[in-house]
Amino acid sequence: MAIITTPALVLRTIDYSETSLIVWLYTQQQGRVHVIAKGARRARSPFEGALEPLVLGELVFYRKANKPDALDIAKEFDPIDLHRGLRQDLDRMHRGVYLTELLGELAEPDAPNEEAWTAIVAALDALARGPASELEVVLFRAELALIASAGLAPALRGCASCGRPDVGAFSIPAGGLLCEEHARRDPAARRIPVGALKTLSALAAGERLRVGREIAGAIRGLLDDFITHHLGKRLRTQRYLTSRRPQRQRIGSPT
The rounded distance, in Å, linking the Cα atoms of 123 and 199 is 18
Cβ neighbours of residue 142 closer than 8 Å, sequence gap 6 or more? 99, 119, 120, 122, 123
Rounded to an integer, the average pLDDT of 163-181 is: 93
pLDDT at 69 over 80: no
Rounded to an integer, the average pLDDT of 219-232 is 94
147, 153 contact by CB (below 8 A):
yes
Q: Which residues pair with 25 in a beta bridge?
A: 10, 33
pLDDT at 254 over 70: no
Q: Residue 49 burial (CB < 10 Å; 0-12/13-18/19+)?
A: exposed
On whether the pTM is more than 0.75, the answer is yes
Whether the predicted pLDDT of 249 surpasses 50: no
Whole-number pLDDT of residue 251: 38
86 or 207: which leads in pLDDT: 86
What average pLDDT does the segment 62-81 reach? Answer: 84
Q: Is the pLDDT of residue 255 over 50?
A: no
pLDDT of residue 68: 62
Q: What is the mean pLDDT of residues 168-192?
A: 93
Starting at the edge strand found earlier in the chain, the sheet holding 176-179 runs: 176-179, 167-171, 190-191
pLDDT score recorded for residue 49: 78
Query: Quick one: pLDDT band at residue 66, thresholds 50, 70, 90?
Result: low
Note the pLDDT of residue 17: 87
Domains detected in the chain? 2-83 (2.40.50.140), 154-255 (no CATH)
Q: In the prediction, which pLDDT does 209 show?
A: 86
What does the pLDDT look like over 3-62, one tens digit per residue? Answer: 999 999 999 999 998 899 999 999 999 999 999 999 888 888 888 778 999 999 999 999
Residue 248 pLDDT class (50, 70, 90 cuts): very low
Query: What average pLDDT is seen over the chain?
Result: 89
* Model pLDDT for residues 116-133, shown as the tens digit of each residue: 999 999 999 999 999 999
Q: Are 39 and 73 in contact (CB under 8 A)?
A: no
- pLDDT at position 252 over 70: no
Please report which confidence band the pLDDT of residue 80 belongs to, taking 50, 70 and 90 as the band edges. very high
pLDDT score of 207 more than 60: yes
